[in-house]
Amino acid sequence: MKSWVEVSSARLAENFRAIRAVAGSSVETLAVIKADAYGHNAAICAPVLVEAGARWLGVGDVEEGAAVRAVLAHGGVRLLVMGGMEIADAPAIVAHGLTPVVWTVEHVAAMERAGRAAGSRVNVHLEIETGMARQGVAVGADLARVLDRLAKSRWVHCEGVMTHLCCAEVAGAATTKAAKERFAAALEQVSAAGAKPEFVHLGNSSAVDEGSTMAWVRTRAKTAGAKAMVRTGVALYGHCLPVEGAVGALAPRLSPVMEWKTRVIGVREIEAGTTVGYGATFVAVHEMRLALLPVGYADGFRRAASSGVGDGWVMIAGKKAAVVGRVSMSLTVVDVTGMAVSEGDEVVLLGDGVSAEEHAAWSGTIAYDVLCGVRGRFVRV
Ligand SMILES: *Cc1c(COP(=O)(O)O)cnc(C)c1O
């Protein structure tokens, strides 16, 4: 086995409970498990989250939704398909009991056809565009057309109205203020059109961490006669972007869920002057002891961790072992000079002493990106 990922079910459940506690009991917490649970394996994570009390899970697409539905013993769990809707997916959405996010007349029409064909009423969540310019319908004339199509639908029910914030981690952001104003206007337009959604939702992990948006969504939901909901992803897995301009209420209560490990497959002593790896970018200036690891960038151990680039490291027996030379596709060399390391020893690639945030810093990205890229055999611990 080249590498394996230990997924802590206890920590995942604790993080979910911490999010719920900070968001407030009147807020429904949807657990986002898209992108294979941010690289943590959705088949492992979904049942743990449901066991911890999650009633709503968020998936990226229909394929993920169908796969998650198949591993859940509890049929009552709701699965929101958040990552865009393809018209051709409508029958599969109904067949697997998924709930799509919609924002065009065509989406509603496709769901209406699929619902009628299956003889079952379909719930949809309507996304409002408030500053991301990705998904969502703009308040005003475009929203009026979609609401009109919904009003004419016999098989489609608008169960939720939602939006997504672009800058939730920035306290007091002008973009968030503008988004809330647009969303509030959309909710008024929805009510005026006679639609009565059961859920009003916006915000992600950072919105819970930053705090002020939760009170806002509770008030808005109440005005609309609906329940407030928040969609949290990265915090479930123990991470959060730093809040800019405030102290995060949630981040201190989270612990990382993933530990990514491998084993040393070879140890060698080299003399001064020996070059290491592609491009001979590293030249030993003294004698060294090197350990060879059977992982590389194809496994998600980023090439930017190479020495002289991001200067990454791994942990062996609680000590840092720096990457030496370039990370290859499936091999990496680390410095174990002066360390009692032998073939077969366990290595922590990501975990205690080498966090996802540190990996992210080596390659100029965010923890989300690092976590999603990890490959290995997933084991629930
Ligand atoms: C991924 C996603 C989330 C979760 O975001 P986090 O920052 O991981 O909490 C929430 N809402 C939508 C629409 C998303 O796509």
**233 CA → ligand 1 middle, Å:** 6
With a CB cutoff of 8 Å and minimum separation 6, the contacts of 331 are 292, 293, 294, 295, 296
User: Which CATH superfamily, name and number, covers 9-238?
Assistant: Alanine racemase (3.20.20.10)
**165 CA → ligand 1 middle, Å:** 9
Distance CA 154, CA 141 (A): 22
**67 CA → ligand 1 middle, Å:** 20
pLDDT at 84: 85
Range(s) of the chain covered by CATH 3.20.20.10:
9-238
Catalytic residue among 152, 196, 278, 320: 278
Ligand 1 probe mutation, 15, 81, 231, 243, most atoms within 8 A of CB: 231
Ligand 1 probe mutation, 61, 204, 229, 257, most atoms within 8 A of CB: 204
Examine the residue annotation and report whether 278 is marked as an active-site residue of this protein: yes
Q: What is the pLDDT of residues 210-224, one digit of tens each?
A: 989 999 999 999 999
Q: Is 237 exposed, middle or buried (0-12, 13-18, 19+ CB in 10 A)?
A: buried
% of residues, the chain, pLDDT over 70: 100
Nearest protein Cα to ligand 1, atom 14: 82
Range(s) of the chain covered by CATH 2.40.37.10:
258-380
Distance CA 269, CA 306 (A): 20
Pocket around ligand 1 at a 6 A CB cut-off: 32, 34, 82, 164, 204-206, 231-235
Q: What is the pLDDT of residues 136-187, one digit of tens each?
A: 999 999 999 999 999 999 999 999 999 999 999 999 999 999 999 999 999 9
Ligand 1 probe mutation, 40, 82, 366, most atoms within 8 A of CB: 82
The identity of residue 176, as a single letter, is T
Nearest protein Cα to ligand 1, atom 1: 233
Q: What is the DSSP string of 207-219?
A: HHHH-HHHHHHHH
Q: Please give the number of the atom of ligand 1 that sits closest to the Cα of 83.
A: 15
User: Which CATH superfamily, name and number, covers 258-380?
Assistant: Lyase, Ornithine Decarboxylase; Chain A, domain 1 (2.40.37.10)
Examine the residue annotation and report whether 368 is marked as an active-site residue of this protein: no
**351 CA → ligand 1 middle, Å:** 23
Q: What are phi and psi of 280, to 5 degrees?
A: 45, 40
Distance CA 299, CA 280 (A): 22
Q: What is the pTM of this model?
A: 0.97
With a CB cutoff of 8 Å and minimum separation 6, the contacts of 219 are none
Distance CA 190, CA 140 (A): 10
- 228, 183 in Cβ contact below 8 A? no
Buried b / exposed e across 176-207, counting CB within 10 Å, b at 16+? beebbebbbebbebbbeeebebbbbbbbbbbb
**145 CA → ligand 1 middle, Å:** 27
Distance CA 34, CA 61 (A): 8
Catalytic residue among 34, 38, 261, 297: 34
Please report, in tens digits, the pLDDT of each residue of the chain (381 residues total). Answer: 799 999 999 999 999 999 999 999 899 999 999 999 999 999 999 999 999 999 999 999 999 999 999 999 877 999 999 998 999 999 999 999 999 999 999 999 999 999 999 999 999 999 999 999 999 999 999 999 999 999 999 999 999 999 999 999 999 999 999 999 999 999 999 999 999 999 999 999 999 999 899 999 999 999 999 999 999 999 999 999 999 999 999 999 999 999 999 999 999 999 999 999 999 999 999 999 999 999 999 999 999 999 999 999 999 999 999 999 999 999 999 999 999 999 999 999 999 999 999 999 999 999 999 999 999 999 999
Q: Please give the number of the atom of ligand 1 that sits closest to the Cα of 34.
A: 1
Nearest protein Cα to ligand 1, atom 6: 233
Q: Please give the number of the atom of ligand 1 that sits closest to the Cα of 204.
A: 9
pLDDT at 74: 74
Nearest protein Cα to ligand 1, atom 4: 233
